[in-house]
Amino acid sequence: MSDVNLLPEPKFLPELHPTFRPAILVNRAFEAAVRDTGAAVDVGIGLEQADGSVFHHRTVLFSADHDLEPNNFRHLERMVKFLLWQRGGWKIHLSGADAYVDRLQDYYRTNEFGKFDDDVIGVKNNRHSLEVVACAELPAENFQARPIGRHLDGCRIGFDLGGSDRKAAAVIDGEVKFSEEIVWDPYFEPNPDYHYEGIIDSLKRAAEHLPRVDAIGGSAAGCYSHNKVTWASLFRGVGPEDFEAVVRDMFTNIAEEWNCPLEVINDGEVTALAGSMALRKKGESGNGVLGIAMGTSEGGGYVDMDGNITTWLSELAFAPVDLHPEAPADEWSGDLGVGAQYFSQQAVARLLPASGIEYDASLSMPEQLKIVQKLMEAGDERALKIYDAIGIYLGYTLAHYAEFYEFQYVLLLGRVTTGPGGEHIITRSKEVMASEFPELAERIKFHFPDETEKRHGQAIAAASLPKIS
């Protein structure tokens, strides 16, 4: 077994990123090597959420006496890492992996990457530090999906809060009467009044175009539970005391102030809902939609095969997709090889220096993206290499996501996907899947919104969230 390659090189290798090692290939190589020993240790992973929901996943590890056993912990930790950000939970049940329980628990208390997961996924999202426990059998799987949105009656406001702009629209019986996009910079703003006043300003400007406001629906980057903010990148600059005092109940307070039903959920979920609604309008089923928004960061969202929203987090920006031990580091969590560095403006900015394009490195990421987009429109080969890398990333990563989601449509949104660059990303990803994962390539369809859907789809879907009593 000394010649086993646990870090296989992909058939399609980005010219600007030759060390890319897709998670799907690394995980498959690891599990195949384990099974080839004839002594695979079956391991169950159960993630328990604060509401009692439990999700299962299974993998295999080398036996304790095998020469490759030292690779077990990294495989297990990366797998759990992905699940934490894709599904969420605070209690990690492990069956068949007793020897790694204490080590994984210690990882979340002492490792910098692990402590970030503990703080965000555990404390902020579940109000409980991550806890790793051994078990003979996993607790029974238990979770529910729920129908949400698709309510188009009445006079509604739909808003979308992103990292570089906020949008609001006035919608009457499903028809957009007014929409507006306003630039803002919420990420590092410590004063929560900045966020509150910006949101209220957008709501008021939309309300001016309605005879009344029957309901308000919103999408925002981050995690939300029952309209309470549990954790969000929008408020990353706000200190803990101000977060608890002002931010956590911001949207429930706005609902009281406006005296109408209000629903706010993760922007990725609204993206997937918008895609589902648009597909149904075109005569498709609209079920099984995985939404990926390549904007300031990577947004993720999912509508299941029954057309419902799950309790899964789908915070794919922090879920590992590249398992090379020296993969690019995330600018926030510091962790390596996570989605934000592959499917966002951050990916473009990271690849730009290697492309040979001359530019001012002090420019903001949106400005850097504009430079690349303009060159791509002019047919510049250096810009093409950037989009080629992202397309290769996407082809392999969709196969990886398919190990955890059941979907038939992929919805792509975000500034990185606009123009000829976005078209090349899809073309290249299809080539990767057709060659490496032909069954997946035959099964899934890409949904690339038209300009009307891009402008209004998110707003209409957000506005449709609350049910008017």
Q: Answer whether residue 179 is part of any domain.
A: yes
pLDDT of residue 22: 98
- The pair phi, psi for residue 46, each rounded to 5°, is -120, 125
Q: Is 355 in the same domain as 385?
A: yes
Q: Is 174 in the same domain as 209?
A: yes
On the question of pLDDT at 95 being above 90, the answer is: yes
Q: Is 355 in the same domain as 263?
A: no
Nearest to 417 by CA among 277, 275, 279: 275
Q: What is the pLDDT of residues 58-88, one digit of tens each?
A: 999 999 999 999 999 999 999 999 999 999 9
Q: Is 317 in the same domain as 254?
A: no
Nearest to 418 by CA among 451, 458, 464: 451
Point out the domain boundary residue: 204, 237, 269. 269
Q: Answer whether residue 275 is part of any domain.
A: no
Give residue 75's Cα distance to chain centre.
Answer: 21
Report the distance separating Cα 316 and Cα 320, nearest Å: 8
On the question of pLDDT at 299 being above 60, the answer is: yes
On the question of pLDDT at 328 being above 90, the answer is: yes
Q: Answer whether residue 274 is part of any domain.
A: no
CATH number assigned to the domain comprising residue 398: 3.30.420.40
Q: What is the pLDDT of residues 388-418, one digit of tens each?
A: 999 999 999 999 999 999 999 999 888 899 8
Q: Is 101 in the same domain as 184?
A: no
β 131-134/155-161 pair status: unpaired
Q: Is 114 in the same domain as 179?
A: no
Q: Is 59 in the same domain as 99?
A: yes
Q: Is 70 in the same domain as 99?
A: yes
Q: Answer whether residue 325 is part of any domain.
A: yes
10 Å Cβ neighbour count for 22? 26
Q: Answer whether residue 149 is part of any domain.
A: no
Report the distance separating Cα 79 and Cα 84, nearest Å: 9
Q: Answer whether residue 147 is part of any domain.
A: no
For the chain, the C-alpha Rg in angstroms (whole number) is 22
Domain around 202: 155-269
Instruction: Give me the mean pLDDT over the 296-317 stretch.
Output: 92
On the question of pLDDT at 453 being above 80, the answer is: no
The structural domain count of the chain equals: 3
Q: Is 190 in the same domain as 41?
A: no
Q: What is the pLDDT of residues 282-294, one digit of tens each?
A: 899 989 999 998 9
pLDDT of residue 448: 77
- Can you point out the beta strands (E) in 372-426? 409-413
Q: Which residues pair with 411 in a beta bridge?
A: 291, 447
Point out the domain boundary residue: 269, 298, 325. 269
pLDDT band, residue 455 (cuts 50/70/90)? low
Q: Is 327 in the same domain as 368?
A: yes
pLDDT of residue 356: 97
Q: Answer whether residue 2 is part of any domain.
A: no
Q: Is 239 in the same domain as 292?
A: no
Q: Is 286 in the same domain as 348?
A: yes
10 Å Cβ neighbour count for 139? 15
Report the distance separating Cα 169 and Cα 99, nearest Å: 54
Computed over every residue of the chain, the mean pLDDT equals: 94
Residue 259, phi-psi category: left (phi > 0), alpha (psi -120 to 50), beta (remainder): left
Cα distances (angstroms) measured from residue 341 to each of 260, 332, 347, 404: 39, 11, 5, 20
Q: Answer whether residue 355 is part of any domain.
A: yes
Question: Could you give the count of Cα atoms lying within 13 Å of 92 in the half-sphere of its Cβ?
Answer: 33
Q: What is the pLDDT of residues 210-223, one digit of tens each?
A: 999 999 999 998 88
Sheet holding 175-183, edge to edge: 175-183, 165-172, 155-161, 215-220, 262-266
Point out the domain boundary residue: 269, 291, 309. 269
Q: 61-68 contacts: CB < 8 A, separation 24 or more? A: 61/34, 61/96, 61/97, 62/33, 62/34, 62/37, 63/37, 63/39, 64/99, 66/1, 66/37, 66/39, 67/1, 67/2, 68/1, 68/4, 68/6, 68/33
Q: Which two tokens stand for residue 145?
A: 């999906």
